[in-house]
Structures are given as structure tokens and as C-alpha cells.
């Protein structure tokens, strides 16, 4: 059996088209499908509409979270409830076509433990597109390519990977990279990503930024290392400048270079404000990591099922 985990947050307009696409897909699949739908604290009619349309399917679970916990936590709730030999993550907004799932299943049957769907192209507003492009490039570099470029949450995972993921207690979870990090044989399928069919993106820009930052901080200490590097970059010219000033001071005592005036105020102001700003940024970066450590240490559950 194959589980399909789908998180929904205020997606009432998507329920009918989604269920229609899943229904026509399930008739084409040879494997049995277990639908695991996670209602991530919707305040519209998503839950009722789901209940009304699910009875067509022979095997399903509908999990209602006690409030909105966010996309990755919702996926985690679904992952914990899924019982299939493989688990597929799929967004409810149909930006990722369920029709490529048979291809993913074929690759899995041929031995891949993780089949990631990667985007050949994406139809999205230019701002988001630029952001995604930048993120993938940067993330690829600083993590040494832990996750395939241009992939998202859409993927098929073998039970072996699922069991490893379930044992990981991370709260600031970033599934796209974490499941690749687990290892095993991995494969990719390629597709064109369309824009959202109904409703607004639920992942607002701030949420996306936060999500990207979760990814970076949970897979890389590069921002922390950059602080040390920045310190060197600033400190070395400062030391050279200070040494030059000392030399000039003594030369002037001996009567040389008397026409040279060392201007104090501008240098001082730039140094104080510039360095103050840089120090605050560095403290902020450390604070971000510390905040994440704090959140993890508290050990609160990633989601609560109502
Ligand atoms: N989603 C969720 N909880 C949230 C945000 C999003 O369950 O807090 C779901 C949403 O309903 C959709 C999927 O996650 O099924 C992806 O959301 P969206 O399309 O907004 O993300 P994007 O396409 O921008 O990655
Ligand atoms: Mg979407």
C-alpha cells in the first residue's frame, strides 16, 4: 500500500478539484492507496468538504490539528499516521501534478528509496520565482548539495526513509533536505510546475523566508562561520591601519611627515556606527541559532491532534 499525505489549510476551494484528480489517478494505479489528509487548523469549510468527498475512497485518514501548526508540522503529522510501504507528500493546491505519481512509483519499484519530483520550470509570480531560484542556488552551495536543486516537498519516500525520519525529533524540520540527507538510492522525476489554481498561496512571503531560514540553519553552520570570517576581514585592515598610525606618530616626533594630518572624527564615526551595526547583525545570527536551540530543548510536540 502507498500512503499519500496531503496537508490542507483553508483550502475549501481546492477540495473538489483535488479529490477529482486523486480519484482518477487512483483508478490508474495498481497499488492500493491510503489517503492521509491533514487539516492544519482550517477555519473555513475544508473539513466538512473533505468528509463529504472522502467516502468514495476505500482507505483514508483525516487528521484534524488543534490549530494551524504550519506546513512542515502538518506533513509530519501525516507522516506519523501513514502506514504505507511508501509515503508520498503532495500539496493540496495541485501546483504539483499527481499524474506523475505512477512514474515515481515505477522508479521506487526499480529500487530507489527516495524519488524526488524536480521542477523543470515553474509558473509563479516573478518575485516568488526569483526568491526560489536564489534560495536553491544558495542552499545548494552552503550545504554541499544535500538536496536536489529545484525540488520541493513533492516526493515519494520508501518506508525505510520514513522510519528514519519518524525517529528524528527536530522541531524546525525541513523535509526536502532532511529526507535526502538520510541517504539510500535516490532518483528524480522532472515536471513543469504550474501556478496555484484556486486561492492565495498559504505560505506567505514571511513564512517562506522563515522556512528557508529553517532549512539553512538546520543544515549549515555557514552563517556562524561567516561571523568569524567577517571579524577577520574587518580586523586585519584595522590592525594594518593602527600600525601605520603608530609609525606615523613616531616619524612625526622625529620631524618627518609633518604635513600629514591624521583626521580623527570621520574615521571614528564610521568605525563606531559601522562596527556597531555589524556586531548587532552578528548577534542576531547567533540569536537565531540560539532561539532554535531553545525551541528544540523545550521539547514541545510539533503538532497537536484534535
Ligand atoms: N499548508 C498547511 N499549513 C500551512 C501552510 C500551508 O497545511 O500553514 C498547506 C497548504 O494548504 C498546501 C500546502 O501546504 O496544501 C502548500 O502550501 P502553499 O501552496 O501555500 O505553498 P507554496 O506553494 O507556496 O510552497
Ligand atoms: Mg502552492
**Predicted pLDDT of residue 200:** 78
Angstrom distance (rounded) from CA 265 to CA 268? 5
Whose alpha carbon is nearest atom 11 of ligand 1? 8
pLDDT at 262 over 80: no
Binding site membership of 194 for ligand 1 (Cβ less than 6 Å): no
Please, are residues 88 and 35 in contact by the beta-carbon 8 Å criterion?
no
Average predicted confidence (pLDDT) for the chain: 88
Binding site membership of 202 for ligand 1 (Cβ less than 6 Å): yes
| CA 251 to ligand 2 centroid distance, Å | 68
| CA 94 to ligand 2 centroid distance, Å | 7
Q: What is the pLDDT of residues 169-193, one digit of tens each?
A: 888 888 988 898 898 999 999 888 8
More confident: 76 or 267: 76
| CA 107 to ligand 1 centroid distance, Å | 26
Angstrom distance (rounded) from CA 68 to CA 271? 45
CA nearest neighbour of 4 among 21, 17, 12: 21
pLDDT at 124 over 80: no
| CA 241 to ligand 1 centroid distance, Å | 53
CA nearest neighbour of 175 among 159, 188, 162: 162
**Predicted pLDDT of residue 139:** 82
Which residue of 203, 208, 209, 210 sits with most ligand 1 atoms within 8 Å of its CB, as the best mutation to test the pocket?
203
| CA 33 to ligand 2 centroid distance, Å | 23
Q: Relative to the alpha carbon of 152, which ligand is closest?
A: 1
Binding site membership of 139 for ligand 1 (Cβ less than 6 Å): no
**Predicted pLDDT of residue 115:** 95
**Predicted pLDDT of residue 4:** 96
Whose alpha carbon is nearest atom 8 of ligand 1? 70
Per-residue pLDDT, averaged over 266-281, amounts to: 80
Q: What is the pLDDT of residues 135-152, one digit of tens each?
A: 888 888 887 777 888 888
Angstrom distance (rounded) from CA 63 to CA 75? 11
Beta bridge partners of 5: 36, 89
pLDDT at 238 over 90: no
pLDDT at 100 over 80: yes
Binding site membership of 124 for ligand 1 (Cβ less than 6 Å): no
pLDDT at 288 over 80: yes
Share of the chain above pLDDT 70, in %: 99
**Predicted pLDDT of residue 162:** 96
| CA 269 to ligand 2 centroid distance, Å | 47
Q: What is the pLDDT of residues 222-235, one digit of tens each?
A: 888 888 888 888 88
**Predicted pLDDT of residue 130:** 84
Per-residue pLDDT, averaged over 286-306, amounts to: 91
Q: Measured from the CA of 200, which atom of ligand 1 is nearest?
A: 20
pLDDT at 205 over 90: no
Per-residue pLDDT, averaged over 42-53, amounts to: 93
**Predicted pLDDT of residue 172:** 82
CA nearest neighbour of 49 among 94, 17, 5, 27: 17
Share of the chain above pLDDT 90, in %: 42
**Predicted pLDDT of residue 270:** 75
Binding site membership of 37 for ligand 1 (Cβ less than 6 Å): no
| CA 299 to ligand 2 centroid distance, Å | 29
Whose alpha carbon is nearest atom 16 of ligand 1? 91
pLDDT at 7 over 90: yes
Per-residue pLDDT, averaged over 124-139, amounts to: 82
**Predicted pLDDT of residue 56:** 85
Amino acid at each position: 500500500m502507498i500512503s499519500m499525505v496531503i496537508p490542507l489549510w483553508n483550502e475549501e476551494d481546492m477540495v473538489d478539484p483535488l479529490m477529482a484528480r486523486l480519484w482518477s489517478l487512483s483508478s490508474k494505479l495498481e497499488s492500493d492507496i491510503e489517503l492521509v489528509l491533514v487539516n492544519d487548523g482550517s477555519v473555513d469549510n475544508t473539513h466538512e468538504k473533505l468528509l463529504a468527498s472522502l467516502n468514495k475512497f476505500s482507505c483514508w485518514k483525516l487528521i484534524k490539528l488543534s490549530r494551524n501548526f504550519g506546513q512542515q508540522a502538518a506533513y509530519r503529522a501525516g507522516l506519523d499516521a501513514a502506514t504505507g510501504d511508501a509515503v508520498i507528500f503532495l500539496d493540496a493546491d495541485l501546483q504539483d501534478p499527481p499524474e506523475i505519481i505512477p512514474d515515481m512509483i515505477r522508479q521506487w519499484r526499480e529500487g530507489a528509496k527516495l524519488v524526488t519530483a524536480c521542477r523543470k520550470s515553474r509558473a509563479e509570480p516573478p518575485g516568488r520565482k526569483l526568491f526560489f531560484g536564489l534560495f536553491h542556488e544558495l542552499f545548494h552551495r552552503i550545504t554541499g548539495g544535500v538536496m536536489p536543486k529545484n525540488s520541493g516537498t513533492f516526493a515519494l519516500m520508501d518506508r525505510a526513509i520514513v522510519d528514519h525520519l519518524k525517529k528524528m525529533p527536530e522541531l524546525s524540520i525541513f523535509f526536502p533536505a532532511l529526507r535526502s540527507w538520510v541517504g539510500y538510492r535516490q532518483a528524480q522525476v522532472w515536471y513543469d510546475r504550474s501556478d496555484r489554481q484556486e486561492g492565495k498561496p498559504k505560505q506567505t512571503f514571511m513564512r517562506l523566508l522563515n522556512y528557508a531560514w529553517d532549512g539553512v540553519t538546520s543544515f549549515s553552520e555557514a552563517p556562524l562561520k561567516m561571523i568569524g570570517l567577517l571579524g577577520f576581514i574587518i580586523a586585519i585592515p584595522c590592525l594594518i591601519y593602527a600600525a601605520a598610525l603608530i609609525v606615523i606618530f613616531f616619524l612625526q616626533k622625529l620631524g618627518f611627515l609633518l604635513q600629514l594630518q591624521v583626521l580623527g572624527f570621520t574615521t571614528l564615526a564610521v568605525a563606531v556606527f559601522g562596527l556597531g551595526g555589524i556586531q548587532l547583525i552578528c548577534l542576531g545570527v547567533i540569536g537565531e541559532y540560539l532561539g532554535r536551540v531553545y525551541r528544540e530543548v523545550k521539547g514541545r510536540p510539533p503538532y497537536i491532534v484534535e
